[in-house]
Structures are given as C-alpha cells and as structure tokens.
Amino acid sequence: MSKIKELFFRDAFTENRLVSRSDVWKLLDYLNHGGDEGTQFDAKDMGKILNNDQLISLDKVKFELGKHLSAFANTSGGLLALGIKEDKGDKESEEGKVVRVHSKFSLNCYEIEKINIQHLMRALSSAVEPKIDFSVEVVVMEEERVESEDEFRDEFGEESTVSTVIDKGVILIFVEQGLNPPHQVVRNRSYYFRHGESSVPAPHSLVSALFSYRKEPNLHLNLIKYGRPSHYRILISNKGRAPALHSHIILNIYPRIMIEDRPLINQLQIKNTTDGMWSIKCFLGNAKNNFMKFRFRALPGEIVLPEVNEVLFDFPDMGDLLLPGSKNKIKMTADLYCEGFAGHQEFEFF
C-alpha cells in the first residue's frame, strides 16, 4: 500500500467500502496546507483525456495516462487523480529571481454519467506492460441542478419546468508498486519513473537495475528417495520471488511401469499422498501407448509460495522393479507452467 493510500484512504480499503467525498476533502486540505504530494500523487485535468464530444477517449487514456501508470508502478506506487486541478504559481523575489510557490489544488469535476468505467478500466489495464495492479474509484463530489428549457403545465394549470440533478465527481486511480518492474508504456515503448512531482523517462541504468529486481515465479521439481522399502517423493517448489498462480504440471513416464498387469502408479495412490491442492487427471497407457501421463492443475485459489516445498506425490522406487543387470531406463519428463513461467525438466531411473 502506497504512503498516500495509507494516510488518506486506508479505512476505505480495509473496511471494504467506497472512497467517500470526505476522504477526498481530507487529501485536498492536506495538499493545500503545506502537505507534500511528493512522488506518490499526481493530478490531471480531465480535458487531457476527453474527445471532441467531451467523452473519455480510450486512446488518450493510454497515451496521456500511460506514462504516469508506468512511473508509479516503477517507483513506489501512488494516486493519479482526474478531476482535481493543480494551479502552479510563481512570484518574483526581491533579488529579481522567480521562486516556485506551493501549488494549490481544487476540484474540476466531471459528469459521472458520462464515465464508462468498464471501458476506462480496459484502457488502463492495456496501457502498460507487464500488467500492473491498480484500482479505480469514482467519487461524487458535487451535484448540479439543471433546469430544462421545456415548459409544461402542472396539475394546477401553472407553467413549470423540469429540473435535473447532475452528479459530478473525480476519478481516483490507485496504482500499486509493480511486482515485475520495469513497466513499459505500450504506446511509445518507453519506461518512466517518478522524479519529485513528475513522471519522467527512465535512464538506461535505472531500467537495467529494475530488470534485476523483477519478481517472477520459478517452479521446480525436486526428487528425493526415502524409507525401506525405498520410495520416491516428488516435491514442487517455487524458487522465484513471486507466488505461482494457476500452476499446471504435466508428467510423462515411459515406458509405463507395471506390477504384473497393474500400473505401479495410479490416480488413487496419487490422491492419497498429494497435498490436496491439485486437480488430477491420469492416463495409464496401454499395450499400444507405452507411457503414462499425469496432469496436475492447481485448484482455484491455490498458489505455490516462494521458498515453500509442496508434496506432489509419492511412488515406489522404480529401480527395484527392474531385473538385475538390465540396461533399461525409465524416464520421466516434467512440463511446468504458471502465470509468467514455463519450464521443463527430465529425470531417469534405473
């Protein structure tokens, strides 16, 4: 959670409620009374993303806001506010030098009815890559009553007009610090970071450094031998720095391993030894297809955390089943997938 989100909007997010206008007024009061917006806040005029019909232009969203999304994600997160106007003033000192005066922030609200939040979310989510973690809040800040030009007669025969209340508000875009930096603007293939109160292009040295901090999952199988009679245990681990989401593992063993006319490994045996976080499908082969295939797919909500070993399943030592002096080898291949990762491993048993 970014500092500005922690200071002014923590209650809204922890209590799972919408951001209120009082939350926004607290932020404006802080900014207008000496508070430092720093690297984690930027205010933009809605006019920058409107088309000629005064509707939100998705192309302008990607172009005008993409660099701020990239900059926040590549630095420490932050808040991009649309509908809040920043007035920057200068004054002349006695020495004749121009000195910056603290900015003043005020509302420059937009008609809520004209906001297609789904279209806006799609434009924001495709503005930078890799994808960033962000949320959008639309907050009604004021109501404007508009009188209709059409007149009608009421039940008493008197002429009257219809009035309509138009809600106006601001759009708050909360951007989290990126897990997989650097994040690039899709439109111009450039990287940005926050420098003071501005989003500026990142130098090559910073981009290279950010790549070294990229947090990605890295699934890996570990094979250990234990017990008497000996058994093998397959462990799945995540050697990366980010949780492995939507994990999917495919194991192929060939030739297939039989005890008389029964497969050595079957689905019931796997279910009895696995950690229970997987949906399992098995193909045990036949005389024509002399191999076995096992597919493990993580159940919804299940993740493989970094530096944690999970038991995939146990099975008897294959080598004990081979005839003495046999040169046959049993081979197992593993294809491992999750969001942001794909890998392949091979094992041999004697």
Q: Where are the beta strands (DSSP E) in 9-97?
A: 41-44, 78-82, 84-92
Domains of the chain from N-terminus onward? 3-212 (no CATH), 219-349 (2.60.40.10)
Q: What is the pLDDT of residue 153?
A: 61
Number of residues written out for the chain: 350
Strands 184-185 and 278-283: unpaired
pLDDT in tens, the chain (350 residues): 677 888 888 888 878 888 999 999 999 998 888 776 678 899 888 877 888 776 788 888 888 899 999 999 999 899 999 999 888 765 555 555 555 555 688 898 888 888 888 888 989 999 999 889 999 999 999 988 877 656 556 566 666 666 788 899 999 999 998 877 889 999 899 999 998 888 999 988 888 888 777 778 889 998 888 877 778 888 899 988 788 889 999 999 888 777 777 777 877 778 777 777 888 898 888 878 888 899 999 988 888 888 778 888 887 776 555 544 445 678 889 999 998 889 999 988 65
**130 close to 75: Cβ distance less than 8 angstroms:** no
d(CA 103, CA 90): 9
Read off φ and ψ for residue 270, nearest 5 degrees: -65, -45
pLDDT in tens, 102-149: 568 889 888 888 888 888 898 999 999 988 999 999 999 998 887 765
Q: What would the DSSP string read from start to end of 167-195?
A: EEEEEEEEEPPPSSPPPEETTTTEEEEEE
d(CA 187, CA 63): 6
Question: pTM of the prediction?
Answer: 0.60
Mean pLDDT score of the chain, rounded to an integer?
82
Q: What is the pLDDT of residue 323?
A: 46
Tell me the longest C-alpha to C-alpha distance in the chain: 110
**57 close to 47: Cβ distance less than 8 angstroms:** no
Where does the chain have alpha helices with state H? 3-8, 10-14, 21-31, 58-60, 66-74, 117-125, 204-212, 267-273
d(CA 65, CA 119): 14
d(CA 107, CA 235): 56
Q: What is the pLDDT of residue 90?
A: 55
Q: Is the peptide bond between 255 and the residue preceding it cis, with omega within 30 degrees of 0?
A: yes
